[in-house]
Amino acid sequence: MTTQDTEPEVVVVGVDGSEAGERAARFAGRIAREAGTTLLVVYVVPWSPFAVQTAEENEQRRVTKQRETQEAQEGIVDPLVAALGAEGVKAEGVVRHGHPAETLCDVGEERGATHLLVGRRGQSKVRTLLFGSTPGNLIQIATVPVTVVP
């Protein structure tokens, strides 16, 4: 008997405020409800500690971070959690800063998630070639199954 059997299972869905993210959240909600697991709705504010900033941005960074967190929480995560809750899904919201795919994996590992889900924005090939995509990155680094919802 492993520890995972005793703790309630968790499913993680990454959202970004887009329609695709919302579709993924709905899909994940169905899975979570059927399996009786908790659904973590995770929003990652893209952030790199190696991005060069101006002195003024640095000075205001703490305030900016708080604002970004609050906006994501109140504008995107909380409404989704509430809507899913109304449909009988046991959902929780999380907002983090960092590299989107890596941070989704980190949250998943911290909470012992068994499944990661994300939406797909259908961005252009050039953009994907240049910057990669969160689903693309996620399937390379995830340690649990990943579902990409179109």
Tell me which residues touch another protein (CB under 8 A): 45, 47, 49-63, 65-66, 68-69, 96-98, 106
List 11's β-bridge partners, or say none: 39, 115
Least distance between another protein and beta carbon 49 (Å): 3
Least distance between another protein and beta carbon 137 (Å): 17
89, two tokens: 């899904």
Least distance between another protein and beta carbon 106 (Å): 8
Residue 62 or 125: the one with the smaller Cβ distance to another protein is 62
User: What is the distance of C-alpha 68 from the center of its chain?
Assistant: 15
Per-residue HEC secondary structure of 56-82 comes to HHHHCHHHHHHHHHHHHHHHHHHHHHH
Residue 2 or 48: the one with the smaller Cβ distance to another protein is 48
Report residue 109: phi and psi, to 5°. -65, -40
Burial level of 114, CB count in 10 A (0-12/13-18/19+)?
middle
Residue 55 or 86: the one with the smaller Cβ distance to another protein is 55
Least distance between another protein and beta carbon 68 (Å): 8
Residue 45 or 144: the one with the smaller Cβ distance to another protein is 45
